[in-house]
Amino acid sequence: AVHAETHGFQTEVKQLLQLMIHSLYSNKEIFLRELVSNAADAADKLRFKALENNALYEDDGELRVRVSFDQDAKTITLSDNGIGMTRDEVIEHLGTIAKSGTKEFFGQLSGDSAKDSQLIGQFGVGFYSAFIVADKVTVETRAAGVEAEQGVRWESAGEGDYTVADITKQTRGTDITLHLREDEHEFLDSWKVRSIITKYSDHISIPVQMWKDERPESEGPDGEKIAAVPGEWESINKATALWTRGKNEISKEEYNEFYKHISHDFADPLTWAHNKVEGKQDYTSLLYIPSKAPFDLWNRERQHGLKLYVQRVFIMDDADEFMPGYLRFVKGVLDSNDLPLNVSREILQDTKTTANLRSACTKRVLTMLERMAKNDAEKYQTFWAEFGQVLKEGPAEDFANKEQIAKLLRFASTHNDNAEQNVSFADYVERMKEGQDKIYYVTADSYAAAANSPHLEIFKRKGIEVLLMHDRVDEWLISHLPEAEGKSLVSITKGDLDLGDLDDEETKKQKEQDETEYASFVSRVKETLGDKVKDVRLTYRLTDTPSCIVVDEHDMSTQMQKLMKAVGQ
Ligand code: ADP
Ligand code: MG
């Protein structure tokens, strides 16, 4: 080997390695899933590059990954003929973490290994998981399209540093050899490895192969000769892209594992929708709702979107053109037969097909959520707790689906007397008082502030339910949602609250009397306060508090004013 160098790992890699070995030990077999998953990604990337340059296949177009053992050396090797890596790529990908969200990830680690392993799972364990079972890992790789002499060997014990050296490697692709730790020799058992791969990687779209020994010539019961069968590489998975298979041929476990492969998530998804569409549009979508919000959901630079395939060929990760921002938590695959194979981000951004696919995928997700809300309210509450705040951005962003989104919204309410957001507009409307034709709400900084608002007094007295909104995004949501379920939404802090139809005849008469009786008092208060207020009115909203401040119906609410101040307006 020439040009051998020793490099130190980026600090974050060292930290991640430490953490991973300790907190993922009970799940150690996942290293196989991660390495097989990388081999499949490498095959996808090669196919994509070969669209423009078929020579990259070098007469070896049957992409696969092979798993083999060396019982004496105590090693297991995964060998793929995918895209491979150049020296620079090796240093970049196997020495640093370049992912967006890395800073948040490290910022959120708590030292509690159960919590941290959850977080690591979400962050994506990837290649480094090899060190859970290996005390030395050797990677030999050669990129597609370069000379055999431009191969690279990377080696590390997973501590502070790694070495890289130039080597000659005839075959394209990447061989990863794990030198198993003393107590991990169980991974030399081919039967065990086979069952793990079947469990985790059956859906992988390239063949995962293991060597099947030859069967020597033998004799049958009547002395007849049974011919020898030569040894061969045998595929141990189905090796067809999961989404191309029929729904009823795919088990729940396979859907779950496929989700983990594409999302780099560790936990099972909450639910999914798998649809094949033919006709005017021709595409397959497989869309998942994760069970936990990613730790960097609120990071604007965070990558999101679907994995895009065109006619089964991988085109790009994180194609965010197909999912609106308020559904940015959705993971999945979109395989289109209408887009050209040479589609780029630029082309994507202005073709009609993209717009159609985006609206179709959006509908799918909304329908999937609607169904979950209807069939499994408990599950829907889990979803809402994780992603409700994101979904509340919907009505502002997606005018066309406003009504459908509104049906998915959940709020805290005076009906419940607790902070849990589980009341829909439909629930509210069903409980409306006779004569009530509006949906009343209050917004505040916190649940406690909303629940103790003095404006609620009259509503409590009259037994009218009020939605208690206390998420930061609520004010924004409401400003884009003037009505729901055919009823207008009215803030109980705004303007002249007319509970008119809800008053009985006697109250109405009483009110008229009061107006005359207190007229001079009101004008005196108005004079005293002068410019400080726009108007002074008698109110029936309060029972225990003598007075309160309200804003005019068409003015910004006090909550919105605070929000604007906070962002420097
Ligand atoms: P991720 O797969 O989430 O990107 P990994 O830690 O699994 O993260 O892998 C890091 C990177 O190393 C990959 O993105 C890829 O660029 C490179 N890599 C890993 N394994 C292979 C492989 N078998 N062939 C080519 N590149 C690979
Ligand atoms: Mg990976």
Q: What is the pLDDT of residues 308-366, one digit of tens each?
A: 999 988 999 999 999 999 999 999 999 999 998 888 888 898 889 999 999 999 999 99
Query: With 60 as the cut, is the pLDDT of residue 569 above it?
Result: no
Ligand 1 geometric centre to CA of 483 (Å): 49
Beta carbons within 8 Å of 409's beta carbon, 6+ residues apart: 388, 391, 392, 424, 425, 477, 484
Mean per-residue pLDDT of the chain: 90
Q: Which residues of 3-41 are buried (b: 16+ CB within 10 A; e: fewer)?
A: eeeebebeebbeebbebbbebbeeebbbbbbbbbbbbbb
Ligand 1 geometric centre to CA of 267 (Å): 20
Ligand 2 geometric centre to CA of 170 (Å): 25
pLDDT at 507: 72
Cβ–Cβ < 8 Å for 172, 142: yes
- Whole-angstrom distance, CA of residue 214 vs CA of residue 166: 36
Ligand 1 geometric centre to CA of 12 (Å): 17
Section 139-145 average pLDDT: 98
- Whole-angstrom distance, CA of residue 154 vs CA of residue 163: 6
Kindly report which listed range (117-126, 153-162, 316-325, 378-387) carries the lowest average pLDDT score: 117-126
Looking at per-residue pLDDT, the higher value among 32 and 565 belongs to 32
Question: Which ligand gives the minimal distance to the CA of 65?
Answer: 1
pLDDT at 394: 97
- Whole-angstrom distance, CA of residue 204 vs CA of residue 198: 10
Neighbours of 497 (CB within 10 A): 21
Between the alpha carbon of residue 75 and those of residues 133, 147, 233, 308, the distances in Å are 11, 28, 18, 36
CA-nearest residue, atom 14 of ligand 1: 93
Ligand 1 geometric centre to CA of 42 (Å): 8
pLDDT at 526: 86
Q: Is 80 in the pocket of ligand 1 (CB under 6 A)?
A: yes
Query: With 90 as the cut, is the pLDDT of residue 461 above it?
Result: no
Question: Which ligand gives the minimal distance to the CA of 128?
Answer: 1
Section 268-291 average pLDDT: 96
Give pLDDT tens digits for 5-21: 999 999 989 988 988 88
Which burial class, exposed, middle or buried, applies to 254 when counting CB atoms under 10 A from its CB (0-12, 13-18, 19+)?
middle
Percentage of the chain lying above the pLDDT 70 cut? 94
Looking at per-residue pLDDT, the higher value among 513 and 442 belongs to 442
User: Element (H or E) spanning 178, and its range?
Assistant: strand 173-180
- Whole-angstrom distance, CA of residue 20 vs CA of residue 137: 15
- Whole-angstrom distance, CA of residue 391 vs CA of residue 404: 11
Q: Is 211 in the pocket of ligand 1 (CB under 6 A)?
A: no
- Whole-angstrom distance, CA of residue 141 vs CA of residue 94: 12
CA atoms within 13 A on the CB side of 93: 14
Percentage of the chain lying above the pLDDT 90 cut? 65
Q: Is the dihedral of CA 283, 284, 290, 296 positive or negative?
A: negative
Ligand 1 geometric centre to CA of 65 (Å): 14
Section 408-430 average pLDDT: 96
pLDDT at 149: 97
Tokens of 156: 């590390």
pLDDT at 568: 60
Beta carbons within 8 Å of 291's beta carbon, 6+ residues apart: 267, 268, 269, 270, 382, 386
pLDDT at 266: 84
Give the CA radius of gyration of the chain.
Answer: 31
Determine phi and psi for 155, rounding to 5 degrees: -145, 140
Section 527-548 average pLDDT: 79
User: Element (H or E) spanning 226, and its range?
Assistant: strand 225-226
Q: Is 34 in the pocket of ligand 1 (CB under 6 A)?
A: yes
Query: With 80 as the cut, is the pLDDT of residue 531 above it?
Result: yes
Q: Which of 30, 31, 93 should be mutated for ligand 1, with most atoms under 8 A from CB?
A: 93
pLDDT at 136: 98
Cβ–Cβ < 8 Å for 169, 210: no
Q: Is 101 in the pocket of ligand 1 (CB under 6 A)?
A: no
pLDDT at 444: 94
pLDDT at 108: 86
Tokens 């800073």 belong to residue: 103
Confidence of residue 564 (pLDDT cuts 50, 70, 90): low
Amino acid occupying residue 157: A
Tokens of 57: 């296949």
Determine phi and psi for 414, rounding to 5 degrees: -65, -15
Q: Which of 33, 38, 81 should be mutated for ligand 1, with most atoms under 8 A from CB?
A: 38
Section 24-42 average pLDDT: 92
Question: Which ligand gives the minimal distance to the CA of 206?
Answer: 1
Query: With 80 as the cut, is the pLDDT of residue 138 above it?
Result: yes
Among 176, 71, 180, which Cα is nearest to 134's? Answer: 180
Tokens 């207008």 belong to residue: 488
Section 144-165 average pLDDT: 96
ipTM over 0.95: yes
Secondary-structure breakdown of the chain: helix, strand, coil percentages, each rounded to the nearest 5: 45, 20, 35
Q: Is 127 in the pocket of ligand 1 (CB under 6 A)?
A: yes
Tokens of 378: 């408990």
Confidence of residue 265 (pLDDT cuts 50, 70, 90): confident
pLDDT at 412: 97
CA-nearest residue, atom 10 of ligand 1: 93
Query: With 60 as the cut, is the pLDDT of residue 304 above it?
Result: yes
pLDDT at 10: 92
CA-nearest residue, atom 19 of ligand 1: 38
Q: Is 39 in the pocket of ligand 1 (CB under 6 A)?
A: yes
Ligand 1 geometric centre to CA of 104 (Å): 21
Which burial class, exposed, middle or buried, applies to 483 when counting CB atoms under 10 A from its CB (0-12, 13-18, 19+)?
middle
Section 434-460 average pLDDT: 92
User: Element (H or E) spanning 462, and its range?
Assistant: helix 457-462
**3-state SS, residue 388:** helix
pLDDT at 202: 83
Between the alpha carbon of residue 134 and those of residues 12, 157, 173, 185, 199, the distances in Å are 20, 8, 21, 10, 21
Query: With 70 as the cut, is the pLDDT of residue 560 above it?
Result: no
**Judging by DSSP bridges, how do beta strands 487-491 and 438-443 pair with one another?**
parallel
Query: With 70 as the cut, is the pLDDT of residue 499 above it?
Result: no
Query: With 90 as the cut, is the pLDDT of residue 82 above it?
Result: yes
Ligand 1 geometric centre to CA of 35 (Å): 8
Section 240-253 average pLDDT: 94
83 CA: nearest ligand 1 atom? 25
Cβ–Cβ < 8 Å for 1, 166: yes
Ligand 1 geometric centre to CA of 255 (Å): 22
